[in-house]
Structure formats: C-alpha cells, structure tokens
Structure 1
C-alpha cells in the first residue's frame, strides 16, 4: 500500500494573496485620500489630538478594497479556490465587510452617534451569521478527563459570534490614537492568526474548510501593510472608523471560522489559547487605554467637569509626555503585540509540558523587558536629574 502524501501548504498562492492586498491597498489609498478631501471627510484639529494639521480619514475604504481584491483573486487560484466551494463564509465576510465599511464611511463624514454605530456593527455581525460564520464549540478544562469539547446550540453560537464581533470592532477602533498604531497592531495580530491557521491546515490536510481562515488572515495582513506607508508618522491619511471597524470584523470572522475547524485531538487545551491570539492581543492592547479612560472619567468628575470632556491626559499623551516620540510610542505598542501574539501562537507548536514552561518563562522575560523599554525615557530623565549638581543649579544645566 502506497504511503499517504503529506499535505503541502500552497505557500505561493498565499504569498500572491498577500502581495495583491499590499499593492491594491497602497495604490488605492492615494485615490481614497483625494476622495476624502473632496467629500469633506477630514479630521478637525481638537485640543486632545496629537496632530497639528487637518488629516483626511476614510482610509478604511482602501483597506477593504485591498482585502476584497486579494480574496476575489484567490478564486482564480487552483488550491485556494476550494475554500469558496466549501462554504459561503468568505462571501459573508466580503458582504458584512462592505456593510461595516459603509457605516464607517458615514461616521467618518457625518460623525454618527454611538447608538447608530452599534446598530451597524450588530447588523454586520448578523450578516456574518447568515453566511455561516458562527462559533460552534469551546474546549473547556475538566478534572476527570483533562478537557472536553462543548458544542454550542444555534442561539449560543449566534450570541457569542455577535458579541465577539462587536468587541473586536470597538477594540480596534479604540486603539486608533497614534499614526500607524492600528494598522501595525492589526497586521501583527492577523499574522499570528495566519501562522496558527496554516499550522491547523497542515495537520488536518483539509484544503476546503480549513483553508478559509489563513486566506482571510493573509489578505488582512497585506491590506494593513499596504496602508501603513500612508499612515505611519507623519500620517497623510487616517484609517477612520471605516477601517477600524472593518479590521475588527475581519479578525472576528477569521477567528470564528478557525474555531469551527479545530482538531481538538491535535491541539488539546492549547487550541483555545492559540486560537484566541488575535483577541488576546487586541484586549491586552486595549486594556490600558480603557483603564486610562476610566481614570479620566473619575478625574474629570472630581474636578467638576463633564466626564466625557476632552483633555490631554490619555494614553498616547502620557506616552509622549514621558519622552517618547510618536514613532517610538507606536513601536513600543508593536513590541507588546508581537510578544503577546507570538507567545500565544507558539503553544500550538509545543507538545511537551517542558516546552510550554520554557515558552511561558521566555514570554514573561520579554514582557518585563518591554515594560522597561516603555518607561525608559522617564528612567533616563530621572538618572540625569540625580547626576545634576542639585536643586540650586540653573534649569538649563539640569535640562541638558
């Protein structure tokens, strides 16, 4: 009997999808910038902003078109075209992405209220569900068997899918505070999902269902990288809600799609952590801004001001205040995202307890190093002050 050949990942086709997304997004971003200026989708100068000139937004339109162009191009490829024949999930992502991107464009131009944006997010998540993107099962630890898979009924799967989509769309929107921050963090997060889902595809050998998550992830990574040259400091265009909400929806769809194809006998308890790497990254990056926002509400309330009034004490203002430049602050965020994503996805490749312990220890060490790098400008400033002659010295000498 002839041995069964191992499944070969269509690396060239994924590379072509990635490259197409990069080129299409990069080219279209310049055109979208001109369109944004013409229709008046421009970010005004506010006291709390870090930019000093009006910047066009609505760049998410180029991100969506780059993603859609790369995914549709895959329909013509020999291996990846099987993903379209297996189910309608990818088509659902394109339709839901168009819906959420349209809502974002309206917000970029007319500043929709929070209720209208939430309704649009729920509508787009509902479109995903209608096209078959739905969370199906969860792995839960068990003291007797070591763990078991719990299958969700339709109502539970719909609620969980919509909830995850709304969380990620708002999380991605919330961290879009510095030039290039969202595009870079989203690219790192999508790359983590691509690595995990291709590992899953290789082990399963199923080039139909299991090939959909890495296809979505490859297109999203390319779209974010293609947009980044226009958006990195100094930004010529902002992604806007159209891009932030679409990226969150695409990440949610790829995560849910990968969950439905999990081989629990292969990944075991590590599958849940590795699969949720994008969500872990997003929530970890969002945690500090959310905490900072809550502290701002408390601070403003104590001062007798409106809790949602603007000020210059948010996270990115604090990062700049301790001595980071905009580029440095964004690169620090990239480092945090890469450590968290790499640590989570590495669990899918480790098979021994010793390897997992080593990976966790390495991740902790890297996180400590990243924390030190985050506050290094303030530490350096204090060291300079301690070395100065004292309080009686001229301010110019202390500053030097």
Structure 2
C-alpha cells in the first residue's frame, strides 16, 4: 500500500509541475484556441492540459518499472500496451484540439488505438463470473474495442465544465483502486502489486494534481486528455478481469465478480444518460447526434441559474454515490452497504432536485395558482 500511495503522490506532483509548464508554453507561444459556441469560458484559455497529464502518467509508470515491488509487472506487455495507448491517444487529442478532426476520422483513430492495445495484451478474454471465456480471439478483440472506445467517448462527453471530468475520473479511479487492491488480497496472490491497481492509482493522482489548475475558474483545460483518461479507465477494467477466480469469491459474492464491469460503468453512468438524452433531443430537432451544442445536463443546469462549482459538486456526488458502494460490496454485505448508501442517496436526490431552480419556481407557481382555501 505504501508504494501505491507514493506513486499517487508522485503522479500528482508531476502533474502540478508539468501542467504549469504546458500552460506557460501555451501562453508564451499563443497556443490559445478560439472560443466555441458550446464553451462556458468567457475568454480563451489553453486546452492542452492533457499533454501534461499524459506525460505525468507515463513518467510515473516508468518510475514504477524501476521499483522492485512493481518491476515484475513490466515483464509482460500489458503495462507497456497501456502506456503506448495513452501516448497515442494523447497525440490524437492534440491533433484534434489544434485542427478539430471530423468525428469519423476521430472514431477510426480511437478504434485503431484500442485495437493495438488489445493486440498488446489488454484484451477481454473472460467474463468475471462463472469462469466464462470468449470462444473467439476475434470476438474478444472486438468486444475489447467496443468497451474501450465506449468509455473513451463517455468520459470525453462530460468534459464540459471546469474540473468535472478530472473529478469524476479521480473518484472512479479511487473506487477502482480500492476494489482491485482488496480483490488481490482475497485472491491470496503472492504479491499485491497488479497492473490494474498501479494504473488506476496513478490515474487518480494525475487527476487530483490537475484539479489544482482545472477547478473553476480553470486556467487550463485538458482537451483531448479526457479521452486518455477514458482509455486507461476502460483498460484497467479489462485487465482486472484476469485477476478474478470465481471459486474464491463464493456463491454469495457472484455480484462482486461483475464489479470490474460495473465500476467503469458507474463512473460513466451519468454521462451515458446525458449522451442518450442529448442525442435523442438533437435528432428530434433534425440535427446529427454528434452535433456539438450546449444542451448537456450540466449546460442546462448552468442556464437555469446554478453556479459552476455547484453543478460540478452535484455530479461528483452522484459519481461517488454510485462508485463507492459498488467497491464496498467486496468487503461488506449488500444489506450493510444499502444501510449506508440509501440514506446518502436520498439526501443526494433531494439536493439535486433542490438545485433545479425551475422546479422550485414551478412549485411556487402552482402554490400561487391554488385557491386560498386549498393551500392548507
């Protein structure tokens, strides 16, 4: 555990330093993209924060490869495939930030990167329950690509407010680390060092470090870095499925075996819902579902009078209320987790609806329309 904490701190520190350097370079050389209609910032700010995040992640992983406790992990191709995928996705993000690729070219590049990662060993070859295996290597590769590309775009989808994507991924990665680390102990592994745990704890450190600059008011955006975060989150979920021996979990903990799939989904549950609703709304208006606008959930909250930080805090809270109980199921029974999670969920629901000014306004209007003798 001490090594993991050290890696998270190193990742955060490197991100702090490198983000400041990247921001200075952008300002010094005028690499400031023009404002778009969907942007919430009032003035142009650097959008290459993903470069600093990726560099910090890669440097931390390279450092981990020199630590005796972690060195055996790098004898396989998996961590190198994750690093190569992160570097390639970062390059794609920079190109997209500078010249704005069309969605077909961007999606094709994402599929290629995910496919190369799959060939490098980051591949979904079994389901984490009942010991099921995917019978075809081609099907395994296709499923891997679908999962990774889906998570990449879901995380990228929420990168619309200062600190939103970084905070959500930090919460999800932290939950995933707790799950992966405890799972390793339950499995009775000779070493608690795993590629999945190492990846997500470094990812968490990178996100926390970046929030220093990215929390509202942001001085730099991550740009294409959101796609790198999604790639690593999805990759870690696939890698951790190989750690699970269903026989050791017991019949009463079959659900726990699904957590490598549930946790990444829990992190992107809100953006997936936003993606579906927003896409349907765009198509009903005769637009492409990929048409960029300000019709996302967080955009509508802002338009209805909520503060930037309030909206971000609400979405962070929803991520935590979904992801943390999922990880807790590995240690505690469903009943104990529910006893704590349900009251918190009720409070979160209340706070969310309380933060919708239009609902409060509608309620006041309805009360005003009710005759005086009916208001009692």
Alignment TM-score > 0.5, same fold: yes
1:116 & 1:38 partners in 2: Cα distance? 30
Give yes or no for the alignment of 1:333 onto 2:322.
no
1:108 & 1:41 partners in 2: Cα distance? 10
Give yes or no for the alignment of 1:193 onto 2:176.
yes
Residues 357 and 43 of structure 1: is their aligned pair in 2 closer, same or farther, counting only changes over 3 Å? Answer: farther
Answer whether contact 1:79 1:207 (CA < 8 A) is retained. no
Q: In structure 1, the residue corresponding to 2:131 is in which secondary structure?
A: strand
**Residue aligning to 1:62:** 52
2:175 & 2:11 partners in 1: Cα distance? 17
Post-superposition shift, 1:35?
3.0
1:15 & 1:210 partners in 2: Cα distance? 12
1:368 to 342, 346, 352: 346
1:222 to 205, 208, 214: 205
Answer whether contact 2:274 2:296 (CA < 8 A) is retained. yes
1:169 to 152, 158, 161: 152
Q: In structure 2, the residue corresponding to 1:57 is in which secondary structure?
A: coil
1:385 & 1:264 partners in 2: Cα distance? 56
Answer whether contact 1:189 1:277 (CA < 8 A) is retained. no
1:97 to 68, 86, 104: 86
1:249 & 1:389 partners in 2: Cα distance? 52
**Residue aligning to 2:373:** none
Q: What is the TM-score normalised by the length of structure 1?
A: 0.84
**Residue aligning to 2:374:** none
Give yes or no for the alignment of 1:254 onto 2:254.
no
**Residue aligning to 2:281:** 296
Answer whether contact 1:183 1:225 (CA < 8 A) is retained. yes
Q: In structure 1, the residue corresponding to 2:219 is in which secondary structure?
A: coil
Give yes or no for the alignment of 1:359 onto 2:300.
no
Answer whether contact 2:38 2:293 (CA < 8 A) is retained. yes
Post-superposition shift, 1:217?
0.8
Residues 206 and 41 of structure 1: is their aligned pair in 2 closer, same or farther, counting only changes over 3 Å? Answer: farther
Q: Deviations over 1:108-154 (max 9, x none)?
A: 111111111112211211221222111121145xxxxxxx2211132
Post-superposition shift, 1:245?
1.0
Query: In angstroms, what is the RMSD of aligned CA positions?
Result: 2.5
* Larger Rg, first or second structure (1 or 2): 1
Post-superposition shift, 1:74?
1.2
Q: In structure 2, the residue corresponding to 1:290 is in which secondary structure?
A: helix
Q: Which runs of 5+ in 2 are unaligned?
A: 371-376
Q: What is the TM-score normalised by the length of structure 2?
A: 0.89
**Residue aligning to 1:324:** 306
1:348 & 1:135 partners in 2: Cα distance? 21
1:184 to 167, 171, 196: 167
Residues 111 and 37 of structure 1: is their aligned pair in 2 closer, same or farther, counting only changes over 3 Å? Answer: farther
2:213 & 2:352 partners in 1: Cα distance? 25
Answer whether contact 2:325 2:337 (CA < 8 A) is retained. yes
2:260 & 2:34 partners in 1: Cα distance? 39
Post-superposition shift, 1:39?
5.9
Q: Which runs of 5+ in 1 are unaligned?
A: 1-10, 141-147, 391-400
Q: In structure 1, the residue corresponding to 2:285 is in which secondary structure?
A: helix
Q: Deviations over 1:316-340 (max 9, x none)?
A: 2211233320001001111000011
Post-superposition shift, 1:49?
2.3
1:358 & 1:166 partners in 2: Cα distance? 35
1:264 & 1:112 partners in 2: Cα distance? 43
1:122 to 111, 129, 133: 111
Post-superposition shift, 1:313?
3.7
